[in-house]
Amino acid sequence: MTAPAVIRHLQFAGLPNGTRLHYASAGERGKPLMLFVHGFPEFWFEWEAQLAEFGRTHFAVAPDLRGFNLSSKPEAVDAYRPRHIVEDLVQFVAALGYERCIAVAHDWGGAICWNLAIQFPQLVEQLVIINSPHPYLFAKALCTDPQQQAASAYMNWLRRPGSEEVLAANDFAMLESMLTAGGEQPAPWFSGETRQKYLAAWAQPGEGDSHSLSGGVNYYRASPMHPPGPGEPPPDISRLDPAAFVVRVPTFVIWGERDRALPKSLLDGLDQFVPDMRLERIPDGTHWVVHEQPELVNRLIRSALK
């Protein structure tokens, strides 16, 4: 077994659409590209263990998505619509000098990469999704499933004006509380140097007059997907064509089954949208399974690589 790959960061890619993405990488450029895409409220460092592992055999790259850490943080909410984030990744892959990639994604990164694989299947050699629901199944659950509506109620809170100030108060105390294993105690992985890296990333200033956390929160504000608020009708998905959401690339789904916000019921019917799919359940994993069990996650991803 070769030694873990050295991780390099403070690298930046300027994209044709004007976005500037910071990224970390491991391994040699020219080897097959593995793109690791984080969720909320994270940044490239979510994938530290994966970069060290897969940089041994691939060019492993983890960007900060727009709105996070050291990447561009446009002020306008509309700048965070999913199509713009997908465009960032398409242009980022090209900026790295590649035509295809293996995409590994979690949470909001998964939401973006589901869309990336659906819209640009020629770009995605393989898709690995960790605790991120398929867009049609998630929209359907938000429309019809009271359990999912209750579990996703936090999304409506995040959409409110000023939520970023509340998240940042008392040295990001509320934001830190989100990164817990079961909701009661601080997660064992979120301590020491790791905690300090997250606090530093959350404090990176926004652009113009925007708050440091506005970019990440704007993903929720810009998304059409959220549960109905009090007195609101559920989302109308009648105009969505299920056939338009079929994933035509080989897909491996890893799911921590103790995810409170994204219950395992979101996996029901997934095979109808992903014909070439392998599913691996982690019964004791939470939403943060990438951090909780990095060696297991690495072994599973390694086992799925073509």
Catalytic residue list:
107, 220, 287
* CA 216 – CA 24 distance, rounded (Å): 19
Residue 120, amino acid: F
DSSP helix/strand/coil, 79: helix
* CA 184 – CA 115 distance, rounded (Å): 33
* Nearest alpha carbon to residue 248 among 205, 210, 277: 277
* CA 44 – CA 100 distance, rounded (Å): 20
Q: CA triplet 111, 114, 118: central angle to 5 degrees?
A: 145
Please state the separation of Cα 151 from the chain's center in Å: 18
Question: Is residue 13 within 8 Å of 95, Cβ to Cβ?
Answer: yes
* Nearest alpha carbon to residue 131 among 223, 39, 244, 45: 39
Question: Which residues lie below 8 Å from residue 132, measured CB to CB, with a gap of 6+?
Answer: 39, 105, 106, 107, 108, 109, 110, 111, 113, 114, 262
Q: For tokens 């900026």, name the residue.
A: 95
Upper half-sphere CA count for residue 227 (Cβ side, 13 Å): 21
